[in-house]
Structure 1
Amino acid sequence: MSLLEAGAELDPQAFTITRADLVRYAGASGDFNPIHWSDRVATAVGLPGVIAHGMFTMALVARAVDTWTGPGRTVELGGKFTNPVVVPDDDQGTRLEVAGTVKEVADGLATIALTVTCEGTKVLGLPKAIVRV
């Protein structure tokens, strides 16, 4: 079966996210919201701890899609943030995993249903990618 045939299961991609990654992303993006670096602030607003930036999470999802299909093929990428990606204050960080199943290939495009989890918990609802084949 070709990598982008309907029904193909794509090899899961795993990413480790540490607090140092969040600091670097904050600097690159300009998003210095303290929920991404301060446990005190994060818990004060009802979060379970410091969380990864949503767009950093989506960038890792995009990296997984590029690994499967090659860079520059993504036409659409989306999903709804349903659970936070909590990043502990240690050197191990947390693990984000992206899996995919090709649902349809038509008119030069493949639709990939994604599963995005952090430590076994789904963090995106209805995530999908549409890519050029």
Structure 2
Amino acid sequence: MPRYEELAVGDELPSQSFPVDRADLVRYAGAAGDFNPIHWNERFALQVGLPGVIAHGMFTMAQAIRVVTDWVGDPGAVVEYGVRFTKPVVVPDDGVGAGVEVSGKIGALLEGNRVRVELTAMSAGQKVLGRAVAVVSVP
């Protein structure tokens, strides 16, 4: 677990890659109760103008924050988290799926032993989350 006094603006968190396949989307849909066909039906997704089946935005958001929770060692240390969804994560039905690559860095040291972490989430070479920022309490 990081210690506040040892941290500096610009410090990088360990990056991670998260694979996403259609089975992940089905499991997430069941847990979240979000069975929108854009997340499982290729034909429907194409008919509504999407490039294919896309991952749930909240699924992508949840994958990204794992970089922070793994780094800090305590999911309860995240006191704020927000993102803007900029591009969808397209998940092909090819036996491989997609990947989301997430990196993070400390953007600011805040009062009360808190830090602002700025995240970057990419898939297929495109930024899929914008303004992805978490405020984390560290010892």
* Alignment TM-score > 0.5, same fold: yes
Q: How many residue pairs get matched?
A: 133
Match of 2:119 in 1: 114
User: Residue 97 in 1 paired to residue 107 in 2?
Assistant: no
Unmatched 5+ stretches in structure 1: none
Q: TM-score, normalised by structure 2?
A: 0.90
Q: TM-score, normalised by structure 1?
A: 0.94
Aligned-partner Cα distance in 2 for 1:54–1:104: 26
- CA apart distance, 1:116: 0.7
Match of 1:131 in 2: 136
Cα RMSD for the two superposed structures = 1.5
Match of 1:38 in 2: 41
Unmatched 5+ stretches in structure 2: none
1:18 aligned to which of 12, 18, 21: 21
Identify if the C-alpha distance between structure 1 residues 4 and 94 changes in structure 2 by more than 3 Å, giving closer, same or farther: farther
Identity over aligned residues, as a percent? Answer: 54
Listed as ranges, the matches of 1:23-102 within 5 Å are: 23-71=26-74, 72-102=76-106
Name the SS of the counterpart of 1:40 in structure 2: helix
Aligned-partner Cα distance in 1 for 2:7–2:71: 9
Structure 1 moving runs of 4+ over 6 Å: none
Identify if the C-alpha distance between structure 1 residues 86 and 8 changes in structure 2 by more than 3 Å, giving closer, same or farther: same
Aligned-partner Cα distance in 1 for 2:110–2:57: 30
Return 119-128 or 30-39, whichever deviates more: 119-128
